[in-house]
Chain A
């Protein structure tokens, strides 16, 4: 486009002013991207993950201490509890003992684990295969991908806490949150160790998130005076309460975003108007030379949109990369905080709209200039 040079040179005309406009747009788009990301992150984190329907029972002393198997049935009696399943942390070594080979390993009850971790998605055939075979294992998708495991592969673990070296066959791969763990049969380990009948944790599925406080209290009270007192925790207590607040927070965030963008638009509009006013005579001269109103309008508008889009690009991509690099999670409140592609696009569209808005009036004025008035101003 032959007018490109003219537009670029006009953008560079008053560098300080252009830089300030770009900066103000980029800051506003940055804030907008941040706020929208808060919302999208909250949304994706608060998708029913099943966590709010779960409490975890462990010994009040340490994670290594265990509870008797008999607790399972007793917990199941408590009102509000739907299913109880035992899960032990195996903590074995895969291949060599190196930190990068560390991953979560649990031996569990292969039947009831799915009633508690109902968010895990497993093909029915794989689930059945995993449940039927005593030496079967199930891995999360991310974990399987990391080690290039396929269904049918043999996985050998070396016991570090327990004197057992399980030789497992991968029969199922699940997808879902926390898909980086390995599960295998409690039966297998118990048998190999001569049935000590100890349970590291009980995972308890509730009938509703609201019953969590009562159930937790009831469980711990039940075993308070036994030789193995318990401590029951929610997987995501605050997360659940957060979900209910979310509606209000969203409205507030949206409101702030709109105000910020509106303010910046006014500033940008003023800047554009100023720079167009200064060029009043020039625009009249161009018109005298034969530049038609529509062309002048296009040139001024393109300039405004370009300046604004540069700001938008800086702000949106800046937010994307800054949060990616710093891995901010806002003190744990916003796990996996991420500026999504759609947020980047929204930022660019908003910045283009700021440009359209700020350049609109000056562009129309430029198109409407009466040549003789524009020329008379100097003479």
Chain B
């Protein structure tokens, strides 16, 4: 087994609504290896997004530890966490979440504005990222001028432009037709295999989950008994 990248220890998460505590995650313990491509499945409301958010450092557990690359991220303050995310995590969303007033180039450049890279260096990185996703021809296009699949590819370029360790994707193909979805999944697989990105992908789609090395089931905030990590036959290429 490869080196452990992410370590969740008895992670609990609940939300408070009108003084009532709504439990979402119940003592989730989980190790994810570096280089893993993990699919997270489960019914709606089971806590998949919540779990992903905790790992990505945009939410904090109610109790338990979230350790990524030997760093307990739950202990970081807001500022440190922001810096940590910028360096280590790439985000891919179901609805792409590109900035509509920025063109493809500027959207991809956005995370680099937070670095001290020169304008020329930023340009090089952006063009590299766009060529990885096959959109170097579309640099000047605005999100509304792109298809859903293309938008998601720009979003992926934005996620990888800072060369993060970890990619988190919350239903990245949830809004796409089958063909575009396959393209995105192929791309993610490539990122995992060629660029060594550790990927955690939430999905409802078993076909999509088939692209992952392993699938994890979440049910009412608990990793399913049969679950843990199990291998699925690689049905796709």
A residues with a Cβ closer than 8 A to B are 2-3, 5-6, 9-10, 12-13, 281-282, 285-293, 371-372, 375-376, 378-379
Contact = CB atoms under 8 A, between A and B. Distances in A.
Nearest to A294: B79
A30 to B, nearest CB: 29
Interface in B88-108: 91, 93-95, 97, 99-102, 106
B221 to A, nearest CB: 16
A289 B106 contact: no
Contacts of B93: 285, 375, 378-379
A289 B114 contact: yes
A274 to B, nearest CB: 16
A289 B86 contact: yes
A282 B106 contact: no
20 contacts: A5-B106, A9-B101, A9-B102, A282-B99, A285-B91, A285-B97, A288-B91, A289-B85, A289-B86, A289-B91, A289-B114, A289-B158, A290-B85, A292-B82, A375-B53, A375-B93, A378-B93, A378-B94, A379-B93, A379-B95
Nearest to B119: A2
B58 interface: yes
B123 to A, nearest CB: 12
B101 A289 contact: no
B36 interface: no
SS of A interface (majority): helix
Contacts of B170: 379
Nearest to B53: A372
SS of B interface (majority): helix
A287 B110 CA distance: 11
Contact of B97 (A13, A281, A376): A281
B82 A6 contact: no
B105 to A, nearest CB: 10
Contact of B82 (A2, A3, A291): A291
B101 A10 contact: yes
Which of B49, B85, B93, B97 gathers the greatest number of chain A CB atoms within 10 Å? B97
A372 B82 contact: no
B99 A288 contact: no
Given A10-B101, A13-B101, A379-B170, A290 B114 contact: yes
A379 B53 CA distance: 13
Given A285-B97, A288-B91, A378-B95, A372 B59 contact: yes
Interface in B63-84: 78-79, 82-83
A3 B59 contact: no
B85 A288 contact: yes
Contact of A292 (B49, B79, B91): B79
Given A285-B93, A372-B53, A12 B110 contact: no
B113 interface: yes
B148 interface: no
A289 B110 contact: yes
B111 interface: yes
B82 A290 contact: yes
Contacts of A12: 101
Given A10-B101, A379-B170, A288 B58 contact: yes
Contacts of A287: 58, 82
A9 B171 CA distance: 29
Nearest to A13: B101
B193 to A, nearest CB: 25
Contacts of A9: 101-102, 106
A371 B97 contact: no
Given A2-B113, A291-B82, A379-B170, 19 more contacts: A2-B119, A9-B101, A9-B106, A10-B101, A13-B100, A282-B100, A285-B91, A285-B97, A286-B110, A288-B58, A288-B91, A289-B91, A289-B114, A290-B85, A292-B78, A292-B79, A292-B82, A371-B58, A378-B94
